[in-house]
A = this chain, B = another copy of it.
Amino acid sequence: MSQINVGLIGFGTVGAGVVELLLNNRELIKDRVGAEIVLKKIADLDIVSDRGVEIDPGFLTTDALEIINDPEIDVIVELIGGYDQAMEYILMAMERGKHVITANKALIAKHGRILFETAEKYNVDIAFGAGVAGGIPIVRALREGLAANQIKAVLAILNGTSNYILTRMTEEGLPFNEALSIAKKLGYAEADPTLDIDGSDAAHKLTIIISLAFGRPFTYEDVYKEGINGVYPEDIRFAGEFGYCLKLLAIAREADGQIEARVHPAFVPLDHILANVNEAYNAVYVEGDFVGPTLFYGLGAGRRPTGSAVVSDLMDIARNHIKGITRRISPLSFARSPAKELTIKPMDQIITDYYFRFSAVDSPGVLSKISGILGAHNISIASVIQKRREANGSVPVVMLTHEARECDVRKSLELIDKLDIVTEKTVLFRVEKKTGI
């Protein structure tokens, strides 16, 4: 039986999950692949801590180069994260003819182009299924299962930490900070949760998704992002009154040769399948021109789900190895660059529905002044809720608009927030109406 030798660089949470899976399901993997996937060496700066998996200390090294320079190793799995060091290791490994598997979404989102070009130059495979939505096989779905489709839209919940926090805020009415504390206590948020809650992590993943969907390596800077730190429980309550919930959405949508690429909290209709994706779960809703709407749901992070994704990529490379081939599918699943030139639509040009929450003094004529400014900027109101006076004397006026252009919205809110009758900065969320082809 043929054999494929693997070196692991980075023995943290995901690394331990990969090792655990390779040990637990060894027979199954052999039966499925028809080859043995052999873990030869693991490099990590810390080779003493217990990871809860049984591993011969002889397998461990503090020197990643021992793995990269080992001619017997066919595949390296990069799980150290970060940019410079990871990049260097991956490029070195590819130069030495090794295939690479990485869960490093930030690196792919920033340096995808050079990574893919280097893989092509050295005729090796590079796989990154674990980088997008953890255990959910969405990279594979876009590259293969839905490959016959023009992708029209992707709406995704890609950050489990944010989704967990929003679920607590929705179900228990907690303010953001309290929900974040619970998430930290239960291990759903890291000590420094910045990249999760400011939308960066979701934007990294969306960058990879749009690259796959449209066949060009876009970069992280192309994606607009806002996080969930500006979400208040009252907006979630108002969302409910209008028939929506609030989710951190990653959105990609193609129209007229332009792509919208944005991450921000958004209103989602309660009867949309994404509205029921709660707790730390991720989900990717994809609309193809032939397949119609689809959804892929599961755990987007964690040792075992991410281990599942890494090992399924390993099995894929092993299946190529047995047949003596590489690069059966190119990383973005396009054998040649698509003819269609696609550009990212500037954020101020997007057109969508909006939710506004104005804080205004409780006096007659408030609504008329606000709606006057909106009307002058081609923004028409779909529905309004005006609440009773609050303790501080100001009243919230909340409304949903019909479709409006982002730049018009920004201009009008700038004017509205300068009005004497307006007491606080207006809160804005974008509204995703139920999409369907």
Q: How many residues of A contact B (CB 8 A)?
A: 69
Q: Does A375 contact B (CB under 8 A)?
A: no
Closest-by-CB residue of B relative to A148 is B311
Are A294 and B294 in contact, CB atoms less than 8 angstroms apart?
Answer: no
Residues of B within 8 A of A392 (CB): none
**Of A79-87, A226-234, A317-325, which binds chain B?**
A317-325
Q: Which residues of chain A from 312 to 332 have a CB within 8 Å of any chain B CB?
A: 312, 314-316, 319-320, 323-325, 328-329
Mark A143-166 against chain B: 1 for CB-CB distance below 8 A, else 0.
Answer: 011111110000000000000000
Residues of B within 8 A of A309 (CB): 291
Residues of B within 8 A of A21 (CB): 148, 290
**Of A22-30, A68-76, A238-246, A401-409, which binds chain B?**
A22-30
Are B339 and A328 in contact, CB atoms less than 8 angstroms apart?
Answer: no
**Of A132-140, A363-371, A426-434, which binds chain B?**
A132-140
Which of B129, B144, B319, B323 sits near A316, CB closer than 8 Å? B144
Q: Does A174 contact B (CB under 8 A)?
A: no
A315-B148, A339-B27 known; A308+B290 contact, CB < 8 A:
yes
A277 to B293, CA, bound (A): 12
- Tell me the interface secondary structure of chain A in the complex: mixed
| Identical copies in the complex | 2
Are B141 and A137 in contact, CB atoms less than 8 angstroms apart?
Answer: yes
Which of B34, B276, B290 sits near A273, CB closer than 8 Å? B276
Closest-by-CB residue of B relative to A329 is B319
A323 to B150, CA, bound (A): 25
A21-B148, A148-B312, A296-B296 known; A290+B307 contact, CB < 8 A:
yes
Which of B31, B33, B324 sits near A339, CB closer than 8 Å? B31
Mark A44-74 against chain B: 1 for CB-CB distance below 8 A, else 0.
Answer: 0000000000000000000000000000000
Q: Does A295 contact B (CB under 8 A)?
A: yes
Residues of B within 8 A of A31 (CB): 215, 334-339
Closest-by-CB residue of B relative to A335 is B34
Are B308 and A298 in contact, CB atoms less than 8 angstroms apart?
Answer: no
Residues of B within 8 A of A289 (CB): 24-25
Provide 22 A-B residue pairs closer than 8 Å at the C-beta atoms, listed in order of the A residue. Answer: A17-B290, A24-B290, A25-B289, A31-B334, A135-B294, A137-B144, A137-B146, A140-B140, A141-B141, A141-B145, A144-B144, A146-B308, A148-B311, A273-B277, A288-B308, A291-B309, A292-B299, A294-B296, A295-B295, A296-B297, A320-B328, A324-B325
6 nearest CB pairs, A to B: A137-B145, A34-B335, A294-B298, A148-B311, A135-B291, A295-B297
